[in-house]
């Protein structure tokens, strides 16, 4: 496709400027067609990046392994370059924008030599939706171009909508220029020089050195969360790390819920849950990110800005998430999983029985006796959302879906109850601010450590998190707003022997049923120090091997442990100094008082 298909002056000028800076061998404008996708995947197969999977097993799908030094988001190499350091805040890496531009300009100079520069117009959100925004990613990675075709709406149709309008420029390079006749490697990356850089005031993204996931598919975490959260604050809406699901009761009444959990805490599983309660239905709008704007009726309407899933493979199976497995049956890309001898993919947890022989994510021969993982813990499937068997009818509704409840949660082994409800929006904001979880493999860090992850946005908030808390409190003050109720859930409480106390997965519908009932006053609750909690019998345990007494154990509020947690929260809050909203100090004071009086 040629640049003559757009007359957008800003876009044409930017592409020219990047071409001059990066010196690619050629420039290719992506049109988003099937023929183009085939051309790109053929190129990747030829270069050894992709292995085409067996057509009988996974039609039109590809396997790919990254460089072992490029397997996850790199939070310590992720920067927010606001003019003032205090606008990035204590939870982000700040860098002076001018100094960073100088550094980046020298890194990007000539960085695409020997490569094709792809220009990829994409829409985050349904085309033409008032909630959606357009970005353009320039990249020298065909893998990125293929992945964006699955995870966003991309190509000519986006340029048609863009017209002369504005877009978020997203510049990406793997950072490995090729000399004349130099042979490429299967996964080029520049492990020593990774920079994932955001300029919120300019609404621009520059990413260098990594070809993996959130570092390289810039529409996702960089745009849809970091830049969008900044825009959302300016414009009075919410850009959140939340799944969106539709839930229908046996009477046919339907509601939508959004839920924020830290990375790799089961958002994809909850978004596609197969309910264990008869005649309840869950349908998926999105599994990772929600953009929510107020409608004329004062309700918050949410869209999923993405068009595909970039899900964690290990642990995903027909038992844990059949709808995810059915979504990835074809037209998918698998990164850092293991390859079977008959050209299919495998990962830990996919099947009960381990295959006798595999090629693991490092390219080594693997047997069940191997000490190495078959698939990397952060290995991923990239699959089109419209292949999900339970995709919601309204998942592409440009108006979005009205949200009745917002859930927060983390992976906590002890003392955090199964579910409780906020007294009001400000209390719910407090609950969002105290989300914490045990560390997982989606970011580079020590697995098992407890991390505060407010609103599950710690790695994704594009500005000072203290201001972000205030933005949430302000949303609650909007005149005429009909706000969702807010809940905190924890599926991960364990007993003293380390066994999960709640079975989770499809049984979580029982908690969602109670939440559903709370949004239309059909379910009962009692006031506790933490919030409203289910009364005896209010959570449906029908046909479940789980007693009300066992339920009470995971609903119990451990006063002393929570008083210790209050201290912990106050300590955590200190980090935000004068940016910590008074509204949150009031909430922690009130919690302490309620606990002491309980
Ligand atoms: O490692 C990566 O780049 C992927 S991280 C990711 C991918 C999909 C959805 N969520 C996340 C996350 O870290 O929250
Ligand atoms: Mn995520």
Span 531-557, pLDDT tens digits = 999 999 999 999 999 999 999 999 999
Q: Domain check: are 144 and 194 in the same one?
A: yes
Which CATH number characterizes residue 351's domain?
2.170.8.10
The rounded percent of the chain whose pLDDT value lies above 90 is 95
Question: Among the atoms of ligand 1, which is closest to the Cα of residue 460?
Answer: 14
Which CATH number characterizes residue 206's domain?
3.40.449.10
User: Which ligand is located closest to the Cα atom of residue 73?
Assistant: 1
Q: Domain check: are 365 and 427 in the same one?
A: no
Q: Domain check: are 593 and 538 in the same one?
A: yes
Residue 226 lies in a domain: yes
User: Would you call 222 a catalytic residue per the annotation?
Assistant: no
pLDDT of 447:
57
Of 387, 418, 435, the position where a domain reaches its end is 387
C-alpha 529/C-alpha 534 separation (Å) is 13
pLDDT tens column, 433-463: 999 987 655 555 555 567 999 999 999 999 9
Say if residues 375 and 313 touch (Cβ distance below 8 Å). yes
Q: Encode 352-374: b = buried (16+ Cβ within 10 Å), e = exposed.
A: eebbeebbbbeeeebeeeeeebb
pLDDT of 442:
52
pLDDT of 479:
96
Q: Domain check: are 508 and 539 in the same one?
A: yes
Q: Could you tell me the pLDDT band of residue 1, with boundaries at 50, 70 and 90?
A: low
Q: Domain check: are 436 and 529 in the same one?
A: yes
pLDDT of 520:
93
Q: Domain check: are 493 and 454 in the same one?
A: yes
**Ligand 1, atom 11, residue with closest C-alpha:** 263
pLDDT of 589:
98
C-alpha 183/C-alpha 46 separation (Å) is 12
E-assigned strand segments in 516-588 = 525-527, 532-534
Residue 215 lies in a domain: yes
Of 339, 367, 387, the position where a domain reaches its end is 387
Alpha helix ranges (H) inside 67-190: 97-108, 142-151, 156-162
For residue 130, give both structure tokens: 């008032």
CA distances from 96 to 72, 227, 246 (A): 25, 17, 43
Of 387, 408, 436, the position where a domain reaches its end is 387
pLDDT of 264:
76
pLDDT tens column, 238-287: 999 999 999 999 999 999 999 999 987 899 999 999 999 999 999 999 99
Whole-number Å distance, alpha carbon 215 to ligand 1 midpoint, is: 9
Q: Domain check: are 420 and 443 in the same one?
A: yes
User: Which ligand is located closest to the Cα atom of residue 217?
Assistant: 1
C-alpha 577/C-alpha 469 separation (Å) is 13
pLDDT tens column, 9-21: 999 999 999 999 9
pLDDT tens column, 29-56: 999 999 999 999 999 999 999 999 999 9
**Ligand 1, atom 14, residue with closest C-alpha:** 263
pLDDT of 438:
76
Whole-number Å distance, alpha carbon 183 to ligand 2 midpoint, is: 35
> How many other β-carbons are positioned within 10 Å of the β-carbon of residue 175?
23
Whole-number Å distance, alpha carbon 480 to ligand 1 midpoint, is: 35
Instruction: Tell which wins on pLDDT, 442 or 202.
Output: 202
pLDDT of 265:
87
Question: Among the atoms of ligand 1, which is closest to the Cα of residue 309?
Answer: 8
**Ligand 1, atom 7, residue with closest C-alpha:** 310
Q: What is the mean pLDDT of residues 374-401?
A: 98
Residues whose CB is less than 8 angstroms from the CB of residue 400 and which lie 6 or more positions away in sequence, other chains included: 129, 131, 291, 292, 293, 295, 301, 302, 303
Q: Domain check: are 353 and 467 in the same one?
A: no
Q: How many domains does the chain have?
A: 3
pLDDT of 417:
97
Which CATH number characterizes residue 543's domain?
3.90.228.20
Question: Among the atoms of ligand 1, which is closest to the Cα of residue 213?
Answer: 3
pLDDT of 97:
98
Residue 65 lies in a domain: no
Residue 66 lies in a domain: no
Identify the bridge partners of residue 301 per DSSP, sorted by sequence position: 293, 402
Q: Domain check: are 418 and 469 in the same one?
A: yes
Q: What is the mean pLDDT of residues 419-441?
A: 91
Domain limits for position 359: 308-387
Mean pLDDT, all residues of the chain:
96
Exactly one of 146, 170, 265, 388 is catalytic; which is it? 265
pLDDT of 2:
56
User: In testing the pocket of ligand 1, which one of 68, 69, 73 has its CB within 8 Å of the most ligand atoms?
Assistant: 73
Q: Domain check: are 319 and 416 in the same one?
A: no
Q: Domain check: are 202 and 111 in the same one?
A: yes
Whole-number Å distance, alpha carbon 35 to ligand 2 midpoint, is: 31
pLDDT at residue 383 greater than cutoff 70: yes
Q: Establish whether residue 203 lines the binding site of ligand 1, counting it when its CB lies within 6 angstroms of any ligand atom.
A: no
Q: Domain check: are 120 and 150 in the same one?
A: yes
Residue 457 lies in a domain: yes
Is residue 161 packed enough to be buried (19+ CB in 10 Å), middle (13-18) or exposed (0-12)? middle
Is the pTM for the entire model greater than 0.85? Answer: yes
């Amino acid at each position: 496709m040629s640049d003559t298909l757009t007359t957008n002056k800003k876009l044409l000028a930017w592409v020219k400027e990047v071409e001059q800076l990066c010196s690619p061998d050629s420039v290719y404008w992506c049109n988003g067609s099937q023929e183009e996708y085939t051309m790109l995947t053929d190129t990747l197969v030829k270069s050894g990046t992709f292995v085409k999977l067996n057509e009988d097993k996974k039609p039109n799908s590809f396997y790919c392994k990254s460089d072992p030094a490029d397997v996850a988001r790199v939070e310590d190499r992720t920067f927010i370059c606001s003019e003032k350091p205090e606008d990035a805040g204590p939870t982000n890496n700040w860098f002076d924008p001018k100094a960073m531009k100088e550094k980046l300009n020298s890194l990007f100079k000539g960085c695409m030599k020997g490569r094709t520069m792809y220009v990829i117009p994409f829409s985050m959100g349904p085309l033409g939706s008032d909630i959606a925004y357009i970005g353009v990613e320039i990249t020298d990675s065909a893998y990125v171009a293929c992945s964006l075709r699955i995870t966003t709406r991309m190509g000519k149709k986006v340029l048609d909508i863009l017209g002369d309008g504005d877009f978020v420029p997203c510049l990406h390079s793997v950072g490995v220029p090729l000399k004349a006749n130099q042979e490429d490697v299967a996964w080029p990356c520049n492990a020593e020089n990774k920079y994932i850089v955001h300029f919120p005031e300019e609404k621009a993204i520059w990413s260098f050195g990594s070809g993996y996931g959130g570092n390289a598919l810039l529409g996702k975490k960089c745009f849809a969360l970091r830049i969008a959260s900044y825009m959302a604050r300016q414009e009075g809406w919410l850009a959140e790390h939340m799944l969106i699901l539709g839930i229908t009761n046996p009477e046919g009444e339907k509601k939508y819920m959004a839920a924020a959990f830290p990375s790799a805490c089961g958002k994809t599983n909850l978004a596609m849950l197969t309910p264990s309660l008869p005649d309840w239905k869950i349908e998926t709008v999105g599994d990772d990110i929600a953009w929510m704007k107020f409608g004329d009726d004062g309700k918050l309407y949410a869209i999923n800005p993405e068009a595909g899933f970039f899900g964690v493979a290990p642990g995903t199976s027909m038992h844990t998430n059949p709808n995810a497995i059915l979504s990835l049956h074809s037209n998918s890309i698998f990164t850092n999983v293991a390859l079977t001898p008959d050209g299919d993919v495998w990962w830990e947890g996919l099947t009960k029985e381990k295959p006798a022989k595999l090629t693991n994510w490092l390219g080594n021969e693997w047997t069940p006796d191997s000490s190495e993982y078959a698939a990397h813990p952060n290995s991923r499937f990239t699959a089109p959302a419209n292949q999900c068997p339970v995709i919601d009818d309204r998942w592409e509704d440009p108006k979005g879906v009205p949200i009745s409840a917002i859930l927060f949660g983390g992976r906590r082994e002890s003392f955090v109850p199964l579910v409780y409800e906020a007294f009001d929006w400000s209390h719910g904001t407090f609950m969002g601010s105290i989300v914490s979880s045990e560390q997982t493999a989606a970011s580079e860090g020590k697995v098992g450590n407890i991390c505060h992850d407010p609103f599950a946005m710690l790695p994704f908030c594009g500005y000072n998190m203290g201001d972000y808390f205030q933005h949430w409190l302000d949303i609650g003050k909007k005149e005429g707003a009909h706000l969702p109720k807010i809940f905190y859930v924890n599926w991960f409480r364990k007993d003293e022997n380390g066994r999960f106390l709640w079975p989770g997965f499809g049984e979580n519908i029982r908690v969602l049923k109670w939440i559903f009932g709370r949004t239309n006053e059909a379910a009962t609750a009692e006031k506790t120090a933490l919030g409203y909690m289910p009364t005896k019998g209010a959570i449906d345990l029908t046909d479940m091997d789980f007693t009300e007494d066992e339920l009470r154990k995971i609903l119990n509020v451990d006063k002393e442990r929570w008083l210790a947690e209050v201290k912990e929260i106050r300590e955590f809050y200190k980090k935000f100094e004068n940016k910590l909203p008074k509204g949150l100090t009031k909430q922690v004071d009130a919690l302490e008082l309620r606990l002491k009086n309980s």
